[in-house]
Amino acid sequence: MNSVIIRTAARLMLPLLLLFSVYLLLRGHNQPGGGFVGGLVAASALILLALAGGVGDVKALFTIGLARTAMAIGLLIAFGSALLPLLMGKAFMESIWMSDYVPASVLPTEFDFGTPLLFDIGVDIVVLGMVLTVVLSLMGEVEEWRS
């Protein structure tokens, strides 16, 4: 499947899809979306690139090593967001919101940040890393077997 059209389209789609994945992640708390699906979209964008032009194309951007590191970092962020409340005298995973500490007048309207969002970011990165690790390793195997 080495078509120039798909390859070019995949490259053009990539930044849009990545942007869309971040959008999905951030709006997730109030509207359809979230970390899980955000990570999946970002991973699919890169997999599309790999399907169109081979694993080599993706590896220039995102190696398997990086994907594995991403899993670790994502997991750390998720656990960190769960442990953070302990430092503030709350229970494990009890959520902390910025609006509980900062007066509403200071914050931009409709803006709030808290540990659940941080947790969601961790989920996003884990999912991204996990899908890429699995799919890219499998693709690498298939390509190697063919050659």
Partner 1 sequence: MAFIVLSGFGLAILAPCIVRALKHRAVGVIALLPVGIFLSLLLAAPLIFGGEAFYSVIRWAPSLGLNLTFRLDGLGLLFSLLVSGIGALVVVYAGEYLKGRSEIGSFYLYFLLFMAAMLGVVLTDNLLALFVFWELTSITSYLLIGFDHEVESARNGALKALLITGSGGLAMLAGFVVLGQVAGTYEISKLSLSPATNAAQLTIALALILVGAFTKSAQWPFHIWLPDAMQAPTPVSAYLHSATMVKAGVYLLARLSPTFSDSPSWMYTVSIIGIVTMLAGGILALKQTDLKAILAYTTISWLGTLVMLLGWGSSQAVKAAMVGVMAHALYKGSLFLLVGGIDHETRTRDIRRLGGLWKMMPSTAILTGISALSMAGVPFFLGFIAKELLLDSALHSGYSATFAWMAPVIVVFASLMNVAIAWRLFHGIFFQKAPRVPTGVATRTPHDPPLAMQLGPLLLGALTVIFGTFPALVNSFVSSAAGAVLAHKVEVKLAVWHGINTPFLLSLSALVLGSGLYLIYAAVAKLIDRLMLPIFDRIYGGLVQMIIEGSQAVTRVIQNGTLRYYLMTILLTASLLIGYALLVPAGGIPVPQVGSPSLAEVLLSIALITTAIMITQAKGRLAAIAGLGVIGALIALFFVLFSAPDLALTQFIIETLMVIVFLLVFHFLPRFFEEFSSKAGRIRDFLISALVGITASGLVLFSTANHFTGPGISEYFIENSYILAHGTNVVNVILVDFRGIDTLGEITVLVIAATGIYAMLKFRIFGRSTTERL
**R_g (Cα) of the chain, nearest Å:** 18
Kindly report the backbone phi and psi dihedral angles of residue 104, in degrees, each rounded to the nearest multiple of 5, phi listed first. -60, -30
C-alpha distances (whole Å) from 124 to each of 23, 137, 140, 143 are 12, 20, 24, 28
CB closer to partner 1, 8 vs 69: 69
Does residue 40 belong to the site contacting partner 1 (CB under 8 A)?
yes
Q: Which of 31, 105, 109, 147 binds partner 1 (CB under 8 A)?
A: 31
Q: Does 43 bind partner 1 (CB under 8 A)?
A: yes
Stretch that binds partner 1, among 3-11, 103-111, 136-144 (CB under 8 A): 136-144
Residue type, 61: L
Which residue's entry shows tokens 């970092």? 73
Give the Å distances, CA to CA, from 58 to 51, 55, 75, 93, 132: 9, 5, 23, 36, 10
Answer for which of 7, 46, 62, 122 binds partner 1 (CB under 8 A) is 122
Q: Is 96 in the site for partner 1 (CB under 8 A)?
A: no
DSSP 108: P
Contacting residues toward partner 1, per CB under 8 A: 24, 28-37, 40-41, 43-44, 47, 51, 64, 68, 71-72, 74-75, 78-79, 82, 86, 89-93, 95, 97, 99, 112, 114, 116-117, 119-120, 122-123, 126-127, 129-131, 133-135, 137-142, 145
